[in-house]
């Protein structure tokens, strides 16, 4: 039984976008939940995703990084106190908080025009970006040593500002024009990547998929305790493929690209969900909508097969990994992104929190800014049992992002 969840991410996407002006790659990798695996007992360090990866002897992690940046030793690694010798190019390491991030008071970053960001291809810029990682307030306790974690990439401040500018433009246009539709039905294509027959080999049942669809619909309708969104999900198709190589895909791996290239259907409006046995103990990852224009074949959500409702990845088997990853696919960030930074997740009504919450810690309040930590928010890291809603601000952001990138 897995004990940890990790949400990994693919930083190279963000970097590529950084260079091109597009923005936003998100990948959530969730960890320690490999089915029937021995990895589950490995302590997970939420903000130290590399720590678990290093401790994980799984040879599958040798999967070839797909994106150039993944192979580039991230300077941030040197800033990661827990993994000083880590040579693993895992992009999740970018989630390690740059110590200087919070201290960067440069007001110019708030007004950095996209053009400037686009012109600067230096990947090291990400390391100086306040929003590029978990910006942990030094005055707050370190993150819990275990629990869910996600691999979806944080955008750099420059990237995030581009997105914010694009969303702001959409808001202006929407205000001047017709309101968006009351209901947006998203077609969902499920791609079940397995290594053979049976749930144990990743061949999830149709029932599990239907149950996941129900979880998505209830969650996004606000029926689980959060704010309602205008999104509904309708199952478009289920296809299954037996491919042991793809089955053990890693975030940003060649296997991921091969599988997606072969299986993806539809345009930016179609939610492609791939289930497989993810490497590194990850629960899933996703791409941000701003990534679609340049890399349409990468668009989608990848889920650990056993995270679907009824799967074996307890306490992450109620379907909220799917809800969380789709949140990224809609351009939501983690509620702890940026830590106590005033921007944090770029959503006003989600109180900033210094680090992920893993244990549904009632009354948790890690940032001095108003509001208790949003421990029940789908974009935090607690168990599925604890996560139960989006905020109105997140619902608005998803709608605006949809109008900007996916309609």
Write out the catalytic residue numbers.
325
Q: Is 387 in the site for Ca ion (CB under 5 A)?
A: yes
Q: Which is nearer to Ca ion, 277 or 388 (CB)?
A: 388
Radius of gyration of the chain, Cα coordinates, nearest whole angstrom: 19
CA 269 to chain centre: 18
Q: Which stretch binds Ca ion (CB under 5 A): 58-66, 75-83, 125-133, 318-326?
A: 318-326
Contact letters for Ca ion, residues 192-221 (x by CB under 5 A) = ------------------------------
CA 13 to chain centre: 12
Q: Is 35 in the site for Ca ion (CB under 5 A)?
A: no
The one of Zn ion, Ca ion, none whose footprint includes residue 28, by CB under 5 to 8 A per kind, is Zn ion
The one of Zn ion, Ca ion, none whose footprint includes residue 367, by CB under 5 to 8 A per kind, is Ca ion
Q: DSSP for 115-136? A: HHHHH---TTHHHH-TTSS---
Contact letters for Zn ion, residues 12-51 (x by CB under 5 A) = ----------------x-----------------------
The one of Zn ion, Ca ion, none whose footprint includes residue 253, by CB under 5 to 8 A per kind, is none
Comparing CA positions, the residue from 44, 51, 88, 55 lying closest to residue 70 is 88
* Options 301, 347, 379, 395; binder of Ca ion; rule CB under 5 A: 347
Structure tokens at 404: 């900007």
Q: Which is nearer to Zn ion, 98 or 322 (CB)?
A: 322
The one of Zn ion, Ca ion, none whose footprint includes residue 350, by CB under 5 to 8 A per kind, is Ca ion
Contact letters for Ca ion, residues 356-375 (x by CB under 5 A) = ---------x-x---x----
Q: Which stretch binds Zn ion (CB under 5 A): 94-102, 142-150, 211-219, 363-371?
A: 142-150
For the chain, what percentages of helix, strand and coil (3-state, to nearest 5) are there? 35, 10, 55
Contact letters for Zn ion, residues 65-104 (x by CB under 5 A) = ----------------------------------------
Comparing CA positions, the residue from 26, 30, 29, 31 lying closest to residue 11 is 26
Q: Which is nearer to Zn ion, 170 or 337 (CB)?
A: 337
392 preceded by a cis bond (ω within 30 of 0) = no
Q: Is 320 in the site for Ca ion (CB under 5 A)?
A: yes
10 Å CB burial of residue 81 (0-12, 13-18, 19+) is exposed
Residue nearest to Ca ion (CB): 350
Q: Is 208 in the site for Zn ion (CB under 5 A)?
A: no
The one of Ca ion, Zn ion, none whose footprint includes residue 150, by CB under 5 to 8 A per kind, is Zn ion
- How distant, in Å, are the alpha carbons of 268, 274, 279 from that of 81? 39, 34, 23
Contact of 66 with 25, CB cutoff 8 Å: no
* Helix runs in 31-74, H state only: 49-55, 68-71
Return the residue matching tokens 């749930």: 199
Q: Which of residues 150-169 bind Zn ion (CB under 5 A)?
A: 150, 152
Q: Is 263 in the site for Ca ion (CB under 5 A)?
A: no
Task: Count residues binding Zn ion (CB under 5 A).
Answer: 4
Q: Is 7 in the site for Zn ion (CB under 5 A)?
A: yes
Contact of 6 with 52, CB cutoff 8 Å: yes
CA dist., res. 391 & res. 48, Å (int): 27
Contact of 65 with 253, CB cutoff 8 Å: yes
The one of Zn ion, Ca ion, none whose footprint includes residue 7, by CB under 5 to 8 A per kind, is Zn ion
Q: Which stretch binds Zn ion (CB under 5 A): 1-9, 10-18, 58-66, 268-276?
A: 1-9
The one of Ca ion, Zn ion, none whose footprint includes residue 267, by CB under 5 to 8 A per kind, is none
Beta bridge partners of 276: 304
Comparing CA positions, the residue from 269, 116, 253, 276 lying closest to residue 196 is 276
Give residues in contact with Ca ion (CB under 5 A): 320, 344-345, 347, 350, 365, 367, 371, 384, 387-388
Contact positions toward Zn ion, by CB under 5 A?
A: 7, 28, 150, 152
């Amino acid at each position: 039984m897995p004990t940890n969840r990790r949400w990994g991410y693919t930083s190279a996407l963000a970097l590529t976008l950084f260079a091109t002006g597009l923005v936003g790659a998100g990948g959530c990798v969730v960890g320690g939940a490999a089915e029937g695996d021995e990895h589950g007992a490995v302590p997970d360090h939420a903000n130290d995703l590399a720590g678990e990866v290093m401790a994980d002897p799984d040879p599958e992690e040798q999967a070839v990084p797909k994106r150039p940046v993944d192979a580039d030793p991230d300077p941030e690694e040197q800033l990661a106190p827990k993994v000083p010798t880590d040579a693993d190019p895992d992009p999740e390491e970018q989630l390690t908080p740059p110590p200087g991030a919070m201290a960067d008071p440069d007001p110019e970053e708030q007004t950095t025009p996209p053009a400037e960001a686009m012109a600067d291809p230096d990947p090291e810029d990400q390391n100086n970006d306040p929003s590029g990682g978990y910006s942990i307030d030094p005055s707050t306790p370190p993150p819990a040593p275990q629990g869910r974690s996600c691999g979806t990439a944080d955008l750099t401040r420059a990237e995030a500002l581009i997105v914010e500018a694009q969303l702001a433009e959409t808001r202006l246009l929407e205000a001047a024009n017709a309101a968006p539709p009351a209901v947006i039905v998203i077609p969902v294509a499920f791609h079940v990547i397995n290594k053979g027959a049976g749930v144990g080999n990743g061949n999830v049942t149709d029932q599990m998929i239907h149950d996941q669809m129900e979880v998505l619909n209830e969650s996004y309708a606000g029926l689980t305790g959060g704010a309602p969104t205008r999104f509904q999900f309708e199952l478009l198709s289920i296809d299954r493929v037996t491919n042991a190589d793809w089955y053990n895909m890693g975030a940003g791996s060649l296997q991921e690209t091969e599988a997606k290239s072969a299986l993806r259907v539809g345009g930016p409006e179609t939610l492609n969900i791939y289930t497989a046995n993810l490497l590194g103990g990850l629960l899933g990852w996703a791409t941000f909508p701003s990534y679609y224009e340049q890399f349409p074949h990468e668009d989608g959500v990848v889920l650990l097969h056993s995270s679907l409702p009824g799967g074996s990845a307890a306490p992450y088997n109620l379907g909220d990994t799917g809800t969380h990853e789709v949140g990224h696919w809609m351009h939501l960030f983690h509620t702890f992104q940026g830590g106590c930074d005033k921007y944090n997740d770029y959503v006003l009504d989600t109180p900033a929190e210094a680090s992920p919450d893993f244990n549904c810690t009632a009354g948790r309040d890690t940032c001095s800014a108003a509001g208790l930590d949003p421990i029940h928010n789908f974009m935090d890291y607690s168990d599925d049992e604890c996560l139960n809603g989006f905020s109105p601000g997140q619902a608005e952001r998803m709608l605006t992002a949809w109008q900007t990138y996916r309609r």
